[in-house]
Amino acid sequence: MARLEDKIGSSTDGLALPSMTEVLFRDFNMSTTTPRMRCFNDGKSLEVGVVAWSRAPTGDAMIVHVVRRLGEDDLDRFLKKLRNFRDLATDYAQRKVYGILAAVDIPDELREKVLCEGIYLARIHDDQFELQVPEGFQARAF
DSSP 115: H
Residue 136 has pLDDT above 60, yes or no: yes
Residue 142 domain-assigned (yes or no): no
Q: Give the pLDDT of residue 128.
A: 84
Q: Which domain holds residue 105?
A: 2-131
Residue 136 domain-assigned (yes or no): no
For the chain, the residue count is 142
Q: Give CA–CA dist 135/17, Å, rounded.
A: 25
pLDDT mean over 84-102: 93
Count structural domains, the chain.
Answer: 1
Q: Give the pLDDT of residue 15.
A: 64
Residue 58 sits at the vertex; the CA angle it makes with 96 and 74, to the nearest 5 degrees, is: 30
Residue 141 domain-assigned (yes or no): no
Residue 126 domain-assigned (yes or no): yes
Residue 139 domain-assigned (yes or no): no
Determine which of 2-11, 54-63, 98-107 has the lowest per-residue pLDDT on average. 2-11
Q: What is the pTM of this model?
A: 0.85
The CATH number covering residue 70 comes to 3.40.1350.10
Q: Note the pLDDT tens digit of each residue in 5-25.
A: 443 344 445 567 788 999 999
Q: Note the pLDDT tens digit of each residue in 101-122.
A: 999 899 999 999 999 999 999 9
With CA atoms as reference, report the closest residue to 24 among 130, 133, 136. 130
Q: Note the pLDDT tens digit of each residue in 20-40.
A: 999 999 999 999 998 889 999
H/E stretch holding 4: helix 2-28
